[in-house]
A = this chain, B = another copy of it.
Amino acid sequence: MPARSTRDPIEIGLAEHACLALVADGASHGWAIGGLLAPDGELGRIWSLSRPLTYRAIDQLTEKGMITRTGTTAGRGRDRRTIAITAAGRRVNRRWLDEPVEHLRDVRTELLLKLELRDRAGLPRAPLLDAQAEALAPIVDALTQVREPDLVALWRRENARAVQRFLSAARAAEATSDATDAATDADSGSVNRAPRATGA
């Protein structure tokens, strides 16, 4: 992905980005991050990561200078190494949270994860949703204008339409939510926002 490389010389994957965002949000050790990303964790409903892969992502982030070890804290059974985000990590995280995904197939996981992590960081969803709709518009247009499609083209068309409708609905919900936010606190439980702890 040369386009991304020019903007971000350090390539990191989705696992690293998710962990980095959670450290930026205040998670201070791998055990806590692993819990948030477990299938029944607060983020796991959107995208889950096993504990071994969580620890591996944290090691990668440390090697790349995006997080730093800060000491240890008492945990159940054994001490846990504590971590914190670095200035470099904060920049990479913020850029990622602002950046739309490239492919339709990334909407279900990466975009939803970014939106949820933006909520946690107190960032509005609307700018990313707008940028995302704009970024995917050419792909969606091309796929939905197919005539006399075969099965694969037919599926791609309906999938593109699903992404388009999802983005429209999310943006509409955001507009409603923004209007409500003018009167109430943004985190007071608007039905249009994903609850932070859902379990299922």
Chain B nearest CB: distance from A173 CB in Å?
8
User: Which of A22-30, A34-42, A149-157 interfaces with chain B?
Assistant: A149-157
Distance A132 CA – B50 CA, assembled complex (angstroms): 33
Q: Please, which residue of chain B has its CB at the minimum distance from the CB of A160?
A: B162
Q: Please, which residue of chain B has its CB at the minimum distance from the CB of A147?
A: B191
The answer to whether A185 has its CB under 8 Å from any CB of chain B is: no
- Check B107–A150 contact: CB distance below 8 A: no
The answer to whether A46 has its CB under 8 Å from any CB of chain B is: yes
Chain B nearest CB: distance from A23 CB in Å?
22
- Check A112–B155 contact: CB distance below 8 A: yes
Residues of B within 8 A of A161 (CB): 162, 165
Residues of B within 8 A of A154 (CB): 166, 169-170, 173
The answer to whether A192 has its CB under 8 Å from any CB of chain B is: yes
Q: Please, which residue of chain B has its CB at the minimum distance from the CB of A168?
A: B158
Residues of B within 8 A of A191 (CB): 148
From A155, A191, A193, residue with most partner B Cβ within 10 Å: A155
The answer to whether A108 and B169 touch (CB under 8 A), given A45-B152, A152-B46, is no
Residues of B within 8 A of A45 (CB): 152
The answer to whether A194 has its CB under 8 Å from any CB of chain B is: yes
- Check A194–B150 contact: CB distance below 8 A: yes
Sampled A-B contacts (6; CB under 8 Å): A107-B155, A108-B155, A108-B159, A112-B155, A148-B192, A150-B194
Q: A150-B195, A150-B198, A152-B194 are in contact. List 9 more A-B contacts (CB 8 A).
A: A107-B155, A112-B151, A115-B151, A150-B192, A154-B166, A154-B169, A159-B162, A161-B162, A161-B165
